[in-house]
Amino acid sequence: MIKVLIIIDKWLFGGREKVIENIIYNINHRKFKIDILVIKNLKEKEKLIEKEFPNNTNVFFVEYKKRSELVFYLVKFFKQQKYDIILTTIFPPAVFLIYLSKIISFSSFKIIISVHGFFKTKHFYSYFLTKWLFKKVSLVITVSGDLKSYLKTKFQVPSEKLMTIYNPLICFRGKKDKEGIPFEYKKLNNFKKIITVARLDLKSKDFNTLFEALKLVKSKIKDIKLIIIGDGPDGDEIKKNAQEKKVISDIIFLGKRKDVLKYIKYADVFVLASFSEGLPSVILESFFCGCPVVATDCPTGPRELLDKNKNGLLVPMKEPPKMAEAILKILTDKKLKEKLVKNSKEFLDNFDIKKQTEKYEKVFMRVLKK
């Protein structure tokens, strides 16, 4: 049996975690054994322990203060566990610690880096370390073609070491609409509902543009509500911004929700206002729910998914009037809405769970033959 360890730095139940769950639940367990190692951030430890992974999946945790402590732990861990493959989703420069631990422990496992989002290296030494690591590992997987092109150009990653595997659509296990219309929506029958599902983080999400766009839409359609699902470090500041822009009364903050799909399904338009992405799973979830999408043209992912406005409307970053215009088009043009929904549902064939899992199985076999 082939032993695979997935190393992740924190478990936030986002896109990366959904990919990991897909691999664990759907891979051929007669052929592969998958374990998880969570390092650095253990805030979600209890929730992760409670998850019902397959019986042969072990979940390990390690927290450290110094990098030397992590290396010491990994060296000891690798000597004990003897894995064939390490698949890691941590920030690429930090993979050096895994590579160093492999050398010190005299391990022979293959390393695969899975890059889930657009990133920039802050220092020149970090850039050269990342460039060097990409050449040393067995394979680099990206979640979008745009991200693959970026890595090839920015870090000169050899083509033979790059592969794109889309995030599979996981919402899927038949739980789409068991509960019906959300309770919070029942008092909004006469309102148009804009929804966004995003981490409340001002570094990666552009709530200011979204709020300005909301004001412009509100000037045309009075009965409108913005539904925000998600939590994060900047929640208070985001609410303060909404207050200052005088749109707080038009917004419903729902916090974190497990049943996100029903909120998306019964909304009129989904909006993603981001500064950067990898391949946003929430857009795919909106496709699945039949909710038309407006998204910012950020690096990377939305442009690839919306496919020249065929599957949704792409708008420039930091331009509220353009975002408002796109939202109004969907809210007022029934034929456009129907067209976008039809096209996006057909597009989802590219994200079939079984097909994507089979790609990972082939990748694992491929790197072992090298």
**Residue 216 above 90 pLDDT?**
yes
Quote the Cα angle for 286-290-293, to 5°.
50
Assign 335 to helix, strand or coil.
helix
Assign 253 to helix, strand or coil.
strand
Helices 67-81 and 95-104, packing angle to 10 deg:
50
Under a CB-based contact definition with an 8 Å cutoff, are residues 35 and 117 in contact? Answer: no
Percentages (nearest 5) of helix, strand, coil residues in the chain = 45, 20, 35
Please count the other Cβ atoms lying within 10 Å of the Cβ belonging to residue 366: 14
In this structure, CATH architecture of domain 2-168+352-368: 3-Layer(aba) Sandwich (3.40)
pLDDT for the residue numbered 258: 83
Of the ranges 10-14, 36-40, 94-98, 149-153, which one carries the lowest mean pLDDT score? 10-14
Under a CB-based contact definition with an 8 Å cutoff, are residues 52 and 41 in contact? Answer: no
Please tell me the distance from the alpha carbon of residue 285 to that of residue 178, in angstroms, as a whole number.
Answer: 16
Q: Are 2-168+352-368 and 183-349 equal in CATH topology?
A: yes
DSSP state of 205: B
Please tell me the distance from the alpha carbon of residue 197 to that of residue 192, in angstroms, as a whole number.
Answer: 17
**Residue 18 above 80 pLDDT?**
no
Of the ranges 14-28, 69-83, 108-122, 164-178, which one carries the lowest mean pLDDT score? 164-178
Q: Model's pTM, two decimal places? A: 0.75
In this structure, CATH architecture of domain 183-349: 3-Layer(aba) Sandwich (3.40)
Please count the other Cβ atoms lying within 10 Å of the Cβ belonging to residue 238: 24
Domain boundary assignment for the chain? 2-168+352-368, 183-349
Q: What is the mean pLDDT of residues 274-284?
A: 90
**Residue 22 above 90 pLDDT?**
no
Please count the other Cβ atoms lying within 10 Å of the Cβ belonging to residue 28: 10
| DSSP character string of 44-86 | THHHHHHS---TT--EEEE--SSHHHHHHHHHHHHHHH--SEE
Sequence-ordered alpha helix ranges (H) in the chain: 15-26, 45-50, 67-81, 95-104, 124-136, 145-154, 207-218, 235-244, 260-265, 281-289, 302-306, 320-332, 334-347, 353-368
Q: Both ends of the chain: CA-CA distance in Å?
A: 18
Please tell me the distance from the alpha carbon of residue 203 to that of residue 45, in angstroms, as a whole number.
Answer: 25
pLDDT digits (tens, 9 = 90+) for 103-146: 999 999 999 999 988 888 888 899 999 999 999 999 999 988 99
> What percent of the chain shows pLDDT beyond 70?
94
Q: Which of 24-33, 53-62, 96-105, 119-128 has the largest mean confidence?
A: 96-105
Averaged confidence pLDDT in the chain: 91
pLDDT digits (tens, 9 = 90+) for 308-366: 999 999 999 999 999 999 999 999 999 999 999 999 999 998 888 888 899 999 999 99
Please tell me the distance from the alpha carbon of residue 94 to that of residue 41, in angstroms, as a whole number.
Answer: 14
pLDDT digits (tens, 9 = 90+) for 301-317: 999 999 999 999 999 99
Structure tokens at 19: 């990919």
Assign 369 to helix, strand or coil.
coil
pLDDT for the residue numbered 63: 81
Under a CB-based contact definition with an 8 Å cutoff, are residues 265 and 272 in contact? Answer: no
Please tell me the distance from the alpha carbon of residue 359 to that of residue 368, in angstroms, as a whole number.
Answer: 14
Under a CB-based contact definition with an 8 Å cutoff, are residues 276 and 285 in contact? Answer: no
Q: What is the mean pLDDT of residues 155-165?
A: 94
